[in-house]
Structure formats: C-alpha cells, structure tokens
Amino acid sequence: MKRPWSLHFPSNIHRYIFGITGVALICLFIASPYILDVLQGNVRIVFYGRVVDETGRAVSGAEVTMNVLATKRLAIPAPFAENQTGWMVRATTDASGSFTLYGGRGLSIEMTDVKKVGYGTPTLTKSGGNFIYTSQYSGVPPYRPDPQHPAIFRLPHLKP
C-alpha cells in the first residue's frame, strides 16, 4: 500500500547525486590552492623592471634576483607562528635593459641582487627594494606593476 507522504525517486537517482557531488568535489580540489591563496591574502606577482648604468644607458645581460614572500596556504594565524614562506625568482635583462619576473602568488617581492661583471652595487631610483602587492598592511598602498613604467635599477660601472 502506498503512503501519501512517501517520495518516489527513479531507481538510478543515486548516480546523478553522486555524479554531481563528485564533479563538485573534483572542482573544489582543483581550485583549493587558489581559494587558500585568496583567503591568506596572496596575489599574483608580476614585476617589471629595467636596469640602467649611471648615465641612464641600458645594461643588457644583467642577472636580477628577487625574493617573493607569501603566506603559507595552510598556515594557522597565531602570534609568533612561522606562517610565511619565500622563494627566489631570477631574470636576465634584454638588450633594452628590461626584464619581467613572474613570482607565482604572494604578498610582496623584494630586490635581492642585480649583478653583471664590471658593474657595482645596484640602487633603486624610486622606492626601497620591497614591493608590497596587497593592502594587508595598513597605511601602505599596494604596488601596481606597470610594463609602461617599470622600476628602475641603477647599476654603476666599477672604477678600474
């Protein structure tokens, strides 16, 4: 005897439910690193720069090394906890002295070294050597990379 309150589903409804749930779980698994990055404040790091000598002429073939700082994806926010990580990224300047660094996802990028045989210690013309990409730090506007206005590094010739 049929009860008026009972629900009747097709016999293969479990295939649809598990199929949709499975696809959703796979999508969530694939997207989880990006979701965790957003929750931790990490953003895409791209840096445009140019290396010139003391007269403003391009320095081609200079090796630029920078350090990307990021929050660990599975970090638990706790006082004095080790919840940040970093890695080095490198690029070599082209004939016009320009370079582009792709650093993955992080909070900031910091100039570590610019070197070429016959040249001295680099200086940055506008800011320190640290470029913060997020607004996570109060009072510091986020750095916005612009290929039309790259950061300029001065690399002076060594005196013989």
CA distance 148 to 81: 39
Beta-bridge partners for 45: 104
Q: What is the CATH number of the domain that holds 62?
A: 2.60.40
Q: What sign does the CA torsion over 75, 78, 79, 81 have?
A: negative
Which positions ≥6 away from 39 have C-beta within 8 Å?
Answer: none
- What six digits make up the tokens of 1? 């005897």
**33 belongs to a structural domain:** no
The predicted model gives 128-144 an average pLDDT of 73
Query: Residue 140: pLDDT above 90?
Result: no
Helices and strands, number each (H, E), in the chain: 1, 8
Is there a domain that residue 131 lies in? Answer: yes
pLDDT above 80 (res 9)? no
Tens digit of each residue's pLDDT (9 = 90 or more) over 31-87: 666 666 666 677 888 999 999 999 999 999 999 999 888 877 665 555 555 677 888
| 3-class DSSP assignment, residue 159 | coil
Are 111 and 66 in contact by the 8 Å Cβ rule? The answer is yes
Q: What is the pLDDT of residues 74-133, one digit of tens each?
A: 655 555 556 778 889 999 999 999 999 988 888 888 888 899 999 988 877 655 677 887
Q: Is residue 31 part of a domain?
A: no
Number of structural domains, the chain? 1
Confidence (pLDDT) at 128: 63
Asked if the structure places residue 29 within a domain, the reply is no
In a domain, residue 28? The reply is no
φ/ψ of 40, rounded to 5, equals: -85, -10
| Two tokens, residue 41 | 């404040």
Calpha distance 135→130 (Å, rounded) = 14
Among 5-9, 21-25, 30-34, 139-143, which stretch is predicted with the lowest mean pLDDT? 5-9
In a domain, 145, yes or no: yes
Asked if residue 1 is part of any domain, the answer here is no
Q: Distance (Å, rounded) from C-alpha 105 to C-alpha 108?
A: 9
Tell me which residue range forms the domain holding 45. Answer: 41-154
pLDDT value for 15? 60
Spatial contact of 99 and 56, defined as CB atoms under 8 Å apart: no
24 in any annotated domain: no
